[in-house]
Amino acid sequence: MVTFSDADISLVADETVAQARFDDIVGSLESALPEAFALHAVLPEPTEEDAGAGEPPEFIATLSPEGLVQLRGRVAGADRELIDSFARARFSSEGVHMAARAAKDLPENWTYRTLAALDALSYLSHGVAQVTPDDLSITGATGEAGAGNAISGVLSEKLGKGARFSIDVEYVEALDPVASLPTPEECETRIAAVQTEHKITFGPGSTTIDPGGSDIMDEIATILKECGEITLEIGGHTDSQGREVMNQRLSLARAETVLNELRMRRVLTGSITAVGYGESQPIADNDTEEGREANRRIEFNVIVPEEVAARQEALATGDGTSEEQAEADAGDAGEGETAAETGEAADAAPSPDSETQEGTADEQD
């Protein structure tokens, strides 16, 4: 039965309503009603024949796989807001639903044990924390290998020696943010598969990715975000038409364009390097248009630790194709010109050594 008197609301439940159900309903009402309203809820004592059906107080916090937290049962009236705030600090503020009823005459240290249970629950990916007068239990799954020991330490510290609690926590590798990551080699294979279907292409002599390349970059960025931070090299390659030094500069500029595209898509690029190989690593015959098309490419290659040191040494000795080296080359060609601009400037005149004009290389590259 529910009665209203101005801002006062009285709720008297049927004596057959279970205590847990009563607590859930009253707790939800207390959270939903504006502060101006006062709720007085009563669950009548069970009849003599049902006297054994009385339920002891309990507090239950449930964490779903989606990160939503529901608080049910009973909490000390004066500490209800404190518990709600603590839960929102430990979990998502928007994901906590307070449905626990403010109650009196709860066991000693009830609030302290409730807060300890919430603290322990925060170590799980999903699970349940339950507090009763005689026990505190934590059950669920986690992607943190040492979560069980950590929870035990937290409860021992907060509840003191001799406190009773139980922990039933399962480690699930699929929930582990590190163990569940694909290997670097798997990431490389997935990116290669994307490029098998859709190739990253550029306009003739340009370092701007063709319009259709945006979707390809989106796919590659998604893969790299799932892979975490891996040591990766973006290699730019050209065909053999044109002068070798210009092809190297153009390949580096294109590799750096791809790297910048990943940055704009919020990919962590601290361990990703752009390198220009020019025409030095053909994968097909440069005497055919099909071969030249295959050689004009962007490759993503995982770098193993021992290779990193070797590549850094090569770059330091001038044998590599780092950005610094490219800038030095550009400086030799003309003060203030970029590598790409220098290449475009070479289109105006044929090489005195009867080499193919750079413009020809650009048109096909």
Task: Look up residue 92 and give its amino acid.
Answer: S
Please indicate whether residue 44 or residue 238 has the higher confidence score (pLDDT): 238
pLDDT, position 183: 84
Q: Quickly list DSSP for 348-363.
A: GS--TT-PPPHHHHHH
Q: How far is CA 101 from the centre of its chain?
A: 36
Query: What long-range pairs does 195-203 form, CB within 8 A, spacing at least 24?
Result: 195/297, 195/298, 195/300, 199/297, 200/258, 200/297, 200/298, 201/296, 202/254, 202/257, 202/365
pLDDT, position 306: 62
Q: Quickly list DSSP for 64-126.
A: -TTS-EEEEEEEEGGGHHHHHHHHHHHS-GGGEEE-PEEESSPPTTHHHHHHHHHHHHTTSSE
Q: Is the pLDDT of residue 308 over 70?
A: no
Rounded CA separation 159/154 (Å): 8
Residue 129: strand, helix, or coil: strand
pLDDT single digits (tens) 22-63: 666 665 666 666 766 665 565 555 444 443 345 789 999 999
Going by pLDDT thresholds of 50, 70 and 90, the confidence category of residue 333 is: very low
Going by pLDDT thresholds of 50, 70 and 90, the confidence category of residue 227 is: confident
pLDDT, position 327: 46
pLDDT single digits (tens) 342-365: 333 333 333 333 333 334 344 444
The yes/no answer on whether domain 184-364 falls in CATH 3.30.1330.60 is yes
**What is the share, in percent, of the chain residues with pLDDT greater than 90?**
47
Q: Do the domains 2-175 and 184-364 sit in the same CATH topology, yes or no?
A: no
Q: Is the pLDDT of residue 301 over 90?
A: yes
pLDDT, position 14: 58
pLDDT, position 162: 78
pTM: 0.46
Rounded CA separation 194/260 (Å): 19
Average pLDDT score over the chain: 78
pLDDT single digits (tens) 141-197: 998 888 999 999 999 999 987 788 999 999 987 777 666 678 888 899 999 999 988
22: its two tokens: 């009563």
Question: Which residue ranges make up each domain of the chain?
Answer: 2-175, 184-364
Burial 62-85 (b: 16+ CB within 10 A, else e): bbeeeeebbbbbbbbeebbeebbe
Hey, which bits of the chain come out as E strands? 2-5, 8-12, 38-42, 59-63, 69-76, 96-98, 101-103, 126-131, 136-142, 166-171, 232-237, 272-278, 297-302
Q: Is the pLDDT of residue 122 over 70?
A: yes
Domain spanning 2-175 has what CATH number?
Answer: 3.40.1520.20
pLDDT, position 127: 93
Q: Is the pLDDT of residue 330 over 80?
A: no
Going by pLDDT thresholds of 50, 70 and 90, the confidence category of residue 296 is: very high
**What is the share, in percent, of the chain residues with pLDDT greater than 70?**
68
Q: Is the pLDDT of residue 224 over 60?
A: yes
207: its two tokens: 């370092």
Q: Is the pLDDT of residue 304 over 90?
A: no
160: its two tokens: 């003191």
pLDDT, position 303: 87
Mode of pairing for the β-strands spanning 136-142 and 166-171: parallel
Are the CB atoms for 199 and 254 separated by under 8 Å?
Answer: no
Please indicate whether residue 363 or residue 265 has the higher confidence score (pLDDT): 265
Average pLDDT over residues 215-244: 91
Q: Is the pLDDT of residue 339 over 80?
A: no
